[in-house]
Structure 1
């Protein structure tokens, strides 16, 4: 029993150290230097114009900067976007992401939807309600990936 407690304590300390390290790394970035969110679209750079972006990105209007460049190796077009105004940083950013209030989540979603529109002409959505019943493992995965719609990652 004591070995099990030590294992959980070690895992907790390691997790805490990792979170602290990531928070302090974000706090040391220069203020207002938000990262570009980039997606590669399988179409020619001529087909993507800054003034003619798909609706999901147009909805942000002048709140975002857009950079369109040819992808390396002639493999399509890179669309990069970021907010003009500085977004929450450090601890505030983590809290906003967990609560679902981080505006970058909406921008990531809009970028993915713009990619889908440019490549296929439509945005594919999952069937709702699902056609199967969740197993206990499926419920756990659903719980963990609930925020994936805003982030695209677990």
Structure 2
């Protein structure tokens, strides 16, 4: 993330990464070439799914870089229907995988 290593500590990280508490281990280190900070998160045991860790890491990164969690646009209607079920599922689980 594009934030100087000196500005961050593992105890002050915002967002849902800190909500995982002692279930994960968070390590901060300077990124190569003075390009910010690397945040490494690993589960201490198998109680936290990898998708939840990825979502928490994405949200924390977004908060640190922009000050807000950027979410995809939601379904065009607030009424759940069988036709918008796939879109609701993709929106709900879309931040759990892929590249960071």
TM-score, scaled to structure 1: 0.51
Q: Aligned residue for 2:24?
A: 64
After TM superposition, the runs of 4+ consecutive aligned structure 1 residues lying more than 6 A away are none
1:48-107 C-alpha deviation (Å, 9 max, x unpaired): 10111112111011111111000001111000001111x38xxxxxxxxxxxxx711011
For the residue of structure 2 that corresponds to 1:82, the secondary structure is: strand
Ranked by relative contact order (alpha carbons within 8 Å, sequence separation 6 or more), the top structure is 2
Q: Which residue of 50, 59, 64 maps to 2:10?
A: 50
CA distance in 1, matches of 2:21, 2:30: 23
TM-score by structure 2 length? 0.76
Q: Give the match's secondary structure for 2:71.
A: coil
Q: Over aligned residues, Cα RMSD in angstroms?
A: 2.5
| Number of equivalences | 89
Shift of 1:129: 2.4
Q: Which runs of 5+ in 2 are unaligned?
A: 78-83
* Structure exhibiting the larger radius of gyration computed from Cα positions: 1
Structure 1 gaps of 5+ residues are 1-40, 89-101, 132-138
Match of 2:57 in 1: 111
